Structures are given as C-alpha cells and as structure tokens.
C-alpha cells in the first residue's frame, strides 16, 4: 500500500505524505526520493549539502540510503544534534551512530560531526560558521515521540536565528531515549544537547521526514491534525515549501482514516 496525500490550506500548509505497509519499504522509498534530490543538486551545482537525523527511526532509511547511486565525494554532511558531555564511545553517541551506519559505507567529501565533549559554545560557533557558508539542499528530519524536531522539545523556540544552539532536554525526550534502549534509565541521559534550531531546519531547500513505528503514531497525528504550534514542534514543517513525510502503517495508524 502506498497512499499519497497533498494538503494545501489557507495557512500555506504543504505536505506530501507517503504511507507504506512495512517500515523497510518506507525506508527504501524515502531513500530513493532523497537520492533524487541529492543527485539533482549535484548535477545543478556540482555538489550537495545534506543534514542527517539519527535514532532508531532512521535504521531502515539509512540501510537503503547508503546503497543509492550518488556521487558521495561531492556531498557535504551535517547532522542535527549531539548530547553535551557524552563520550563518542557511548552507545547513544550520535557521532558513533553516524560513523557506524553511514560514514563507513559512503566516502562523503566532508562530514561536520557535532562534538559535545568539549566546550559546547565553541562547537556551536564552529558549526554555525560552517553551515552558514551555503544553503542545505536536503535535511532528513525525524520526529520525536513528543513531536520534537532535532532536540527542539515543546514548547519549541521557533524564533532563534542561529543555526545551532545548546538546549535542555525534557523528561519526555529523555524517556524516548530510554525506551529505544540507548540508556538504562532517564538519569543517565545527559541534561543538555547541541541542536540544530528550527529556523535552520526550515532554511533547507528540501526536507524529508522518515517516521516509522507505532511509538510515533500520536506524534504523527498531532503533526498532521494540529495547527502550527510550538507545543507541537513538528507542525512547523507543514509551512515548508518542500516537505515529504514517509510513514509506515503503524506510525500512520491514527491519521490514515482521517487523511
């Protein structure tokens, strides 16, 4: 099953929703769509800049994305976020995640990894300089169980202009990390993270969100049905001119009949 819905409302809401029976098929189709965007950018300008998400929701996507026929040496990669103070050796490290699930398979031209072990302010300054050099062509933006995008937990700040900032993690965000098996308990989850801001996410030319599994069903329902609201951070993605949302049957369970 593949159901595609495009929603256009008076508030300039734009969304292309793709629903598949299985998470693996969802991941494959999202990888194909993302590869097309990257390939077109490389053909048009000789290079592409991308932003990657991490977490359990991206497993199926990355498995297929690394196999796409892309001139990876012409790709510059950023990622969304990283915990402050967490060593790269920790299983929950997003740098570790990307090295193991992406960078070891594809020879990207450049990879700007978020390092939260040193001075977070210096890291933010460096990332802000680098990402501001040129536009991002494609951002892979996951949606958290509490509706967060990157680590912009509700109520998310939609107004920060800087590309990255240090944020405090909410209890619901910490609970998701525990539920996914990255930490034994919420007390082990760092209190802060370096996160891409909402405005920087929206500056991307294209956004693709890959959000499988039943644990995300309520967050997807809120994203689709609620008005744009900082209490539901992912709703802001509906204002982007080129946003594609990829779901499996489980994550779409609360919106399928509605849409």
Q: Tens of pLDDT along 82-128?
A: 999 999 999 999 999 999 999 999 999 999 999 999 999 999 999 99
Alpha-carbon gap, residue 76 to 125, rounded angstroms: 18
Residue 184 has pLDDT above 50, yes or no: yes
Alpha-carbon gap, residue 101 to 7, rounded angstroms: 33
Alpha-carbon gap, residue 96 to 90, rounded angstroms: 8
Q: Measure CA 96 to chain center.
A: 16
Q: What is the mean pLDDT of residues 32-61?
A: 97
pLDDT number for residue 15:
82
Asked, as a colleague might, if the bond just before 155 is cis with ω within 30 of 0, I would say yes
Q: Tens of pLDDT along 127-162?
A: 999 999 999 999 999 999 999 999 999 999 999 999
Alpha-carbon gap, residue 35 to 25, rounded angstroms: 15
Query: CA triplet 212, 215, 217: central angle to 5 degrees?
Result: 70
Residue where the block lists tokens 């996160």: 195
- The pLDDT > 70 percentage for the chain reads 93
Bridge partners for 166 per DSSP? 194
3-state secondary structure of 176: helix
Q: Residue 7 — pLDDT band, cuts 50, 70, 90?
A: very low
């Amino acid at each position: 099953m593949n159901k595609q819905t495009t929603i256009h409302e008076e508030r300039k809401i734009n969304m292309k929703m793709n629903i598949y029976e299985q998470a693996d098929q969802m991941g494959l189709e999202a990888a194909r769509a993302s590869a097309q965007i990257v390939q077109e950018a490389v053909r048009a300008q000789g290079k592409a800049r991308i932003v990657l998400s991490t977490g359990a929701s991206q497993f199926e996507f990355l498995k297929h994305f690394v196999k796409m026929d892309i001139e990876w040496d012409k790709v510059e990669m950023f990622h969304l976020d990283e915990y402050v103070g967490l060593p790269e050796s920790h299983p929950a490290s997003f740098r570790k995640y990307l090295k193991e699930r992406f960078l070891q398979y594809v020879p990207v031209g450049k990879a700007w990894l978020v390092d939260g072990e040193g001075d977070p302010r210096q890291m933010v300054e460096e990332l802000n300089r680098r990402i501001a050099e040129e536009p991002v062509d494609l951002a892979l933006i996951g949606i958290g169980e509490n509706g967060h995008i990157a680590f912009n937990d509700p109520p998310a700040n939609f107004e920060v202009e800087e590309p990255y900032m240090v944020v405090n993690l909410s209890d619901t965000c910490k609970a998701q990390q525990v539920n996914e098996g990255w930490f034994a308990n919420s007390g082990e989850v760092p209190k802060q993270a370096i996160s891409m801001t909402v405005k920087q996410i929206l500056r991307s030319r294209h956004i693709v969100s890959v959000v499988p599994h039943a644990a995300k069903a309520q967050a997807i329902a809120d994203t689709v049905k609620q008005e744009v609201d900082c209490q539901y951070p992912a709703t802001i993605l509906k204002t982007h001119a080129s946003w594609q949302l990829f779901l499996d049957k489980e994550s779409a369970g609360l919106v399928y009949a509605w849409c």
